[in-house]
Structure 1
Amino acid sequence: MVTLGENKVLYEEIMQKAKRIGEAAELEAIEADHNSTISPRIADLIRQEEIHRLILPKEFGHPQLDWHTFVDMVSTVGYHNLSASWLTFFFSAHNAWVCYYPKHIRDEVINQGGFVADVFAPIGQVEPTEGGYIVSGKYNFVSGINYSDWVGVGAMMKFEDNDKPERVGILFKVSDLEVVKTWDSLGLRGSGSNTLIIDNVFVKPDAILRFSKIIEKSQPPYEEFDQDYLYYNTPFYPGFYVGFAAMAIGGAERVVSEFEKHTAGRVRFSGVNEKESPTSQRVLSELKLDLISAKGLMAEYINMMETDKDGAYEGAKYKAIRAKIIDTCIQISVKALLTLGGHALLKGHPVEMFTRDLMAIGTHITSLYEDGILGYGRHLFGVDTKIQG
């Protein structure tokens, strides 16, 4: 794993990759909002920059980033466009769970070079058949499916070594499935999070990933593996979800910049320059401090990931920190929009678009504020919340 301190040249190279993707997506933001998907050009740019290969095991020949660099990359794209940041994060992180499959599957997917999507809500129906299983299900919110070659979906299955059903991931080629364009959302419209239909598709047993085994060990089921790989040395779910908070920080930072810029050039009907108003001065101060607070929590989250190894960890604390970061970023954006006034409400204004996108991040099941805060409170009083991160 290459750390920020060890290779500043690589760090700057990664940030430039992120900036190129973000700036290109920003130019197409209104078009992507209208089409409910990023364009093929942006998807191709993410692929050309090899973002989806930056946190693979080192045997695949790409620089393996540390968490600080990865988070900064996601945030940098988010500063320019949150839909692109959402997909940049997903196309990177989704290769991570593929690395827990047997090596022949892992190598096939990674060497093929395509993007991987997933939706692990355990709603699939799995029936045993000769040589494997038949799977059916209808999955909504499959981000990036328009440009993905592979997809993982969720289901509940019973195994001989466990007396209770457990949640699993099942890997498919997208070409074997049906994609239905249903994405018409308030925010993150460029994510193209459409619906996926699986209709009695056969899979072999080795296409099934048991998440319970990953939680137990954080390492793959084969003997020889990259000991330095960051996902093999981090509690799986906190690492898998870190990008949601990272992109929110990037979006909030952009909103603060937009607020400062638009306030400096704003003149009231009374002729008073808004930057001289105590109201806007106070708001800008609060926004800046809230952003500092969110970044501080992000640093703590990363420190926890780097410290928690080979044992129990506080899943509820991870979830609460992530939820608090995202909620803080949402409140930054809402406060900025309400203070800037009506012109910031116009469709296509950066603050209007970032506010919608940040709210959409906050609605993701892993980001729900009330769930995260309540879960941590219960955990602090010794209640077993079953929260895994």
Structure 2
Amino acid sequence: MTQLTHEEAIKRAEYVGQVAEAELFEADRKGGYSTKLKDAIHETQLHRLLRPKRYGGFGMTHRTLSEVIRTVAQHSVSGAWVTYFMPLHETWVALLPPKGREEIYSADKFVADIFFPIGKVEYVEGGVRLSGQWNWGSGIDFCEWIGLGAIVDVPGTTTGPQPCLVTIKVSEGEIIQNWDTFGLRGTGSKGIAVKDVFVPWYRVLPVATAKGSNTPVGGEFDPAEPVYRVPFMPAFALGFNSVCIGAMQRLQKELHSRIRSRQRVVLGGQEWESPVAQRNLGEVVTHIEQAEALHERYIKQLDDWRIAGTTSASPLEESRMGAWRSSIAKTAAQVGFRTLELLGGAATYKGDIVEVFARDLMMVSIHVTQLYEDHMMYYGRTQYGLSGHPLG
């Protein structure tokens, strides 16, 4: 596998972003992207960004991942979301037992997941039989594999029953066509129903155990790989920030250029000459710059952990990262609707990128990893020595 440079990864991301933007409105209308986006991601091999090199991956850092997703997000929020999940979900595959890693990586197909541990398992020889129904399977139509959440007592672990990802082939379940939402429509985040599917132990990831040390089950790994050198959850959720930052940067460009060309017929004069418009633009840009600075601090913390090989974080540290993520997401949603408000009714028509971005960013802000109220509460709790957010 030829080593991928950071610069080349960004060039590939720009190409994927252009593919995503070309289908942005159609994907929003239909509730999912066509296979053109899937093919673009696979062709550019961006799904291999974080995959360990021994399995044909590039072993890149999370800073490169962040820049890739930010680049795509300047073209499409939903497209960036899907692009982000393809390399992201390979990070928990890296924690599976060696046989599970080899099986999934060697197939070189995309991986989806739904973490909510609501599945039912029956213990049988060599593994479990899985049943249940899950929703919010982002990009599921693009994927060969999917890890589904269930509470499982995994042999060899000492914690007892715990949340696990039980990995099946998507074809072993039934995709449920229930994705009809306010925003992020292009992610195609459909449900899946599974009935009595056998899953061997080597495709069952004990999430709590793996999350605690970010060490793969069964060993046989290179601890120098970036994917193994950071706390799991703060690294896993990084890309949500990147989606928000890229989208806000696109909205800043749209707001600047449209104010510059806008003629106020009733009030008279050019919009950009108005002190009110100038003040509003300055305020929005400042909010974006604050979010960019917080995002850079987030990445810097991951860089520092990676260099030191710090694989676990304290509840206070994890809650701080969660609070930063939720603050960035809340700001992004506010910037989306503020941009819509400042540009007026013309920007609200279907087929306007500002209208789609505003809806999509609101949906990002209410994702479980971004919920502002939850993460601020837990950040406050950990400052008094209390427990942190269960997801970090």
TM-score range, shorter chain: over 0.9
Distance 1:132 1:165 in 2: 14
After TM superposition, the structure 1 = structure 2 runs for residues 97-112 of structure 1, keeping only pairs within 5 Å, are: 97-112=92-107
Which amino acid is 2:88 matched to?
Answer: A
1:43-65 CA deviation, whole Å, 9 max, x = no partner? 11111010101111122344322
After TM superposition, the structure 1 = structure 2 runs for residues 252-267 of structure 1, keeping only pairs within 5 Å, are: 252-267=248-263
Contact 1:375 1:387 in 2 (8 A): no
Q: Specify the alignment match of 1:283 in structure 2.
A: 280
* SS at structure 1 position matched to 2:357: helix
Distance 1:319 1:142 in 2: 22
2:128 is equivalent to residue 133 of structure 1: yes
Moved more, 158-167 or 84-93: 158-167
2:56 is equivalent to residue 55 of structure 1: no
1:183-238 CA deviation, whole Å, 9 max, x = no partner? 11111111110110011111122221111221222111334312222221110011
Which amino acid is 1:295 matched to?
Answer: E
Which amino acid is 1:312 matched to?
Answer: A
**How far is the alpha carbon of 1:348 from its aligned partner?**
1.6
**How far is the alpha carbon of 1:125 from its aligned partner?**
0.6
Distance 1:101 1:387 in 2: 21
* SS at structure 2 position matched to 1:226: coil
**How far is the alpha carbon of 1:315 from its aligned partner?**
1.4
Aligned counterpart in structure 1 of residue 224 of structure 2, from 214, 222, 228: 228
Contact 2:228 2:311 in 1 (8 A): no
TM-score between the two structures when normalised by the length of structure 2: 0.94
* SS at structure 1 position matched to 2:183: coil
Aligned counterpart in structure 2 of residue 88 of structure 1, from 83, 87, 92: 83
* SS at structure 2 position matched to 1:80: coil
**How far is the alpha carbon of 1:164 from its aligned partner?**
5.2
1:64-98 CA deviation, whole Å, 9 max, x = no partner? 22222210110000000111100110001111101
Q: Specify the alignment match of 2:380 in structure 1.
A: 377
Q: CA RMSD in A?
A: 1.8
1:310-367 CA deviation, whole Å, 9 max, x = no partner? 4433211111010001111111111111111111111121110100110111121111
**How far is the alpha carbon of 1:369 from its aligned partner?**
0.9
Q: Specify the alignment match of 1:71 in structure 2.
A: 66
Q: Specify the alignment match of 2:291 in structure 1.
A: 294
Distance 1:47 1:189 in 2: 21
* SS at structure 1 position matched to 2:197: strand
1:156-204 CA deviation, whole Å, 9 max, x = no partner? 1235754653111101011111112111111111111011001111112
Distance 2:373 2:215 in 1: 31
* SS at structure 1 position matched to 2:148: strand
Q: Specify the alignment match of 1:359 in structure 2.
A: 362
Distance 1:159 1:24 in 2: 42
Contact 1:316 1:387 in 2 (8 A): no
Which amino acid is 1:302 matched to?
Answer: I
Distance 2:261 2:102 in 1: 54
Distance 1:311 1:155 in 2: 23
Q: Specify the alignment match of 2:326 in structure 1.
A: 323
Distance 1:367 1:42 in 2: 25
Distance 2:345 2:231 in 1: 45
When residues 159 and 39 of structure 1 are mapped into structure 2, their CA distance, relative to the original with a 3 A threshold, is: closer
Aligned counterpart in structure 2 of residue 306 of structure 1, from 303, 307, 314: 303
**How far is the alpha carbon of 1:252 from its aligned partner?**
0.8
Distance 2:188 2:229 in 1: 32
Specify every segment of 5 or more residues in structure 1 that has no aligned partner in the other structure, as ranges. none
Distance 1:366 1:374 in 2: 13
2:207 is equivalent to residue 207 of structure 1: no
How many percent identity over aligned positions? 35
Q: Specify the alignment match of 2:185 in structure 1.
A: 189
How many correspondences in the alignment?
Answer: 383
Distance 2:389 2:253 in 1: 39
Which amino acid is 1:70 matched to?
Answer: L
* SS at structure 1 position matched to 2:112: strand
Contact 1:315 1:387 in 2 (8 A): no
Distance 1:335 1:262 in 2: 14
**How far is the alpha carbon of 1:388 from its aligned partner?**
4.2
* SS at structure 2 position matched to 1:117: strand
